[in-house]
C-alpha cells in the first residue's frame, strides 16, 4: 500500500489500492468484528489514506540485547547445537547490536550450514568427486553447531542497512498512536 502517484504507478495498481481502501471502509460500516493487523518495514512509504484507516500505529524497534539473546536460544536449540553453546548466546547478542530479528535468523541459518559444509568437504576428501555415489545416507552423521560456526556466520552476515532509527522515530512522532 505504497503512496499512490500518477507518474510512477500503473493504473491497475492504483485501482487495486483504491478497492482495498473501499473494502476497509466497508468493514467499519459492518456489524462484524474484524481485527486488521498490518506490518511494514517502510511505514513512511504507506499511502496516507491507509494510515487514516489504521487506528493504532506503533513503531516496533530493533530487538534489545536480551531479546537477541532469546532469539539465539530459540533458533539454536539443544538438538542442533553442541552442549554449552547457550553460554555464548550473550556474546552473540552483544555482537548483533543493530540486527533485526530477520538478520539474526539469517545468522543462525548460516551457522547451521557450517556442519553441512564440513561434512561435504570431509566426504569429498575421503571419497573424491564421486562421494555421492559412494556414501549411503545412513552412514552420514551431521555435526552439531559450534560456537565457531556462529562466529563464522557473524563474519559472513551483517545487519540490514535499511534501518535508520532517526527516520523511524521521526515517523513514529508524526504518525504513531499508542
pLDDT tens digits along 101-147? 999 999 999 999 999 999 888 888 887 777 667 766 667 788 999 99
CA distances from 24 to 51, 53, 62, 173 (A): 12, 8, 29, 25
The pTM (predicted TM-score) of the whole model is 0.74
Could you give phi then psi for residue 6, rounded to 5 degrees? -75, -25
Q: Provide the total of helices (H) and of strands (E) in the chain, helices listed first.
A: 8, 0
Q: Rounding to the nearest 10 degrees, give the CA dihedral for residues 143, 144, 146, 150.
A: 100
pLDDT digits (tens, 9 = 90+) for 3-41: 777 677 788 888 888 888 888 888 777 777 888 888 888
Amino acid at each position: 500500500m505504497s503512496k499512490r502517484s500518477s507518474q510512477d504507478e500503473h493504473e491497475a495498481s492504483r485501482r487495486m489500492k483504491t478497492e482495498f481502501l473501499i473494502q476497509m471502509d466497508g468493514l467499519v460500516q459492518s456489524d462484524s468484528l474484524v481485527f486488521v493487523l498490518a506490518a511494514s518495514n517502510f511505514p513512511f512509504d504507506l499511502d496516507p489514506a491507509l494510515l487514516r484507516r489504521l487506528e493504532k500505529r506503533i513503531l516496533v524497534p530493533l530487538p534489545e540485547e536480551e531479546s537477541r539473546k532469546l532469539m539465539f536460544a530459540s533458533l539454536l536449540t539443544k538438538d542442533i547445537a553442541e552442549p554449552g553453546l547457550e553460554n555464548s548466546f550473550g556474546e552473540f547478542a552483544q555482537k548483533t547490536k543493530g540486527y533485526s530479528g530477520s538478520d539474526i535468523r539469517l545468522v543462525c541459518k548460516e551457522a547451521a550450514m557450517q556442519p553441512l559444509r564440513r561434512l561435504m568437504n570431509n566426504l569429498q576428501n575421503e571419497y573424491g568427486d564421486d562421494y555421492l555415489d559412494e556414501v549411503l545416507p545412513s552412514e552420514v552423521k551431521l555435526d552439531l553447531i559450534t560456537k565457531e560456526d556462529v562466529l563464522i556466520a557473524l563474519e559472513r552476515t551483517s545487519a540490514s542497512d535499511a534501518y535508520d532509527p532517526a527516520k523511524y522515530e521521526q515517523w513514529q512522532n508524526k504518525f504513531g498512536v499508542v
